[in-house]
């Protein structure tokens, strides 16, 4: 029984490790996109480069506005935390074309900036990456634009992650809403990215109370017949690496120790009562 449990846990652990170094990608368009539809109908898209074939399609340049959003540390389960009533969820569900890939393997040479450069060179879109100083009135109506947006990095526990995602969703929805009227034909790509390594400084320690760390992890691809009231990317992975590691420690280390202890206790027998031979004592008395 213990061997079966151990084998099952190792199998689950292997699958969880396989999800490491993966990111989600959600792409939707207000216009019909054959490339997005072709990718969506495939059984499983797990390679980042294959998913980004949409960027080399002939119909991408027809969009008046292209919005690229990256959020480091983002995993598909973070998207599943968004309620179905959120603006982002409704916007995605109402899109004309949609592609979702919850776990894309990252390439070692992946660069978000290179992705932006590829689109600007191919389509001639004007790059806009300064959102804080952006004035919508300065945008020319006869010009195509590529908007680059970086959302705050997600780290931390599940409860913090949920709060952080709601804040980011509100920020993202406001910006998308401001561009909707200016660019009726638009393509939006929301992608995760590798979280930068943690580095602590004196300022980080002083600001820890005002800027608490936030969330992070993975999900299953939403089927095409997903109910209308279901939350966005609602099918998500439960066995996270942390949970699998805890189970492995419990069953691989503690369970064998308990079994060995029980076996040792059961093997202990009551000590036999030792008495000296009576025949020898009687012979001494006769002598």
pLDDT per residue over 127-185, tens digit each?
Answer: 998 877 778 878 888 899 999 988 888 888 878 888 888 888 888 888 898 888 888 88
Query: What does pTM read for this prediction?
Result: 0.61
Q: Look at residue 229 and tell me if it is in a domain.
A: no
Task: Report which secondary-structure segment, H or E, holds 259.
Answer: helix 255-267
Among 103, 24, 248, 69, residue whose Cα is nearest residue 171? 69
Q: Look at residue 6 and tell me if it is in a domain.
A: no
The C-alpha atoms of residue 129 and residue 120 are separated, in whole angstroms, by: 13
Q: Look at residue 239 and tell me if it is in a domain.
A: no
Contact 9, 252 (CB under 8 A): yes
For residue range 209-254, what is the model confidence (pLDDT) as tens digits? 454 443 333 333 344 445 555 555 454 555 566 677 777 777 778 7
Q: Is 221 exposed, middle or buried (0-12, 13-18, 19+ CB in 10 A)?
A: middle
Q: Look at residue 198 and tell me if it is in a domain.
A: no
Among 96, 110, 135, 259, residue whose Cα is nearest residue 194? 110
Q: Look at residue 234 and tell me if it is in a domain.
A: no
pLDDT higher than 60, residue 187: yes
Q: Look at residue 230 and tell me if it is in a domain.
A: no
Structural domain boundaries enclosing 121:
22-193
Domain count, the chain: 1
User: In terms of DSSP bridges, do strands 65-72 and 22-29 run parallel, antiparallel, or are they unpaired?
Assistant: unpaired
DSSP 8-state class, residue 68: E
Q: Look at residue 8 and tell me if it is in a domain.
A: no
Q: Look at residue 141 and tell me if it is in a domain.
A: yes
């Amino acid at each position: 029984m213990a061997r079966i449990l151990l084998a099952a846990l190792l199998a689950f652990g292997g699958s969880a490790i396989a999800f490491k170094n993966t990111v989600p990608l959600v792409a939707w368009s207000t216009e019909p996109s054959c490339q997005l539809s072709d990718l969506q109908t495939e059984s499983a898209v797990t390679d980042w480069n294959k998913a980004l074939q949409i960027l080399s399609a002939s119909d991408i340049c027809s969009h008046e506005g292209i919005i690229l959003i990256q959020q480091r540390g983002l995993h598909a389960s973070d998207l599943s935390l968004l309620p179905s009533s959120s603006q982002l969820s409704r916007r995605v569900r109402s899109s004309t074309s949609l592609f979702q890939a919850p776990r894309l393997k990252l390439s070692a040479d992946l660069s978000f900036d290179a992705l932006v450069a590829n689109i600007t060179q191919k389509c001639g879109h004007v790059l806009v990456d300064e959102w804080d100083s952006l004035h919508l009135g300065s945008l020319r109506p006869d010009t195509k634009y590529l908007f680059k947006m970086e959302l705050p990095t997600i780290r931390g526990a599940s409860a913090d992650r949920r709060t952080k995602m709601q804040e980011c969703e509100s920020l993202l929805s406001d910006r998308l809403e401001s561009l909707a009227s200016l660019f009726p034909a638009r393509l939006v790509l929301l992608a995760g990215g590798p979280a930068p390594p943690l580095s602590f400084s004196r300022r980080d320690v002083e600001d820890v109370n005002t800027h608490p760390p936030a969330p992070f992890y993975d999900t299953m691809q939403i089927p095409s017949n997903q109910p209308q009231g279901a939350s966005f990317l609602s099918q998500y992975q439960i066995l996270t690496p942390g949970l699998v590691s805890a189970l492995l420690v419990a069953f691989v280390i503690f369970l064998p120790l308990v079994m060995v202890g029980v076996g040792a206790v059961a093997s202990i027998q009551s000590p036999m009562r030792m008495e000296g031979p009576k025949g020898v004592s009687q012979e001494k008395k006769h002598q």
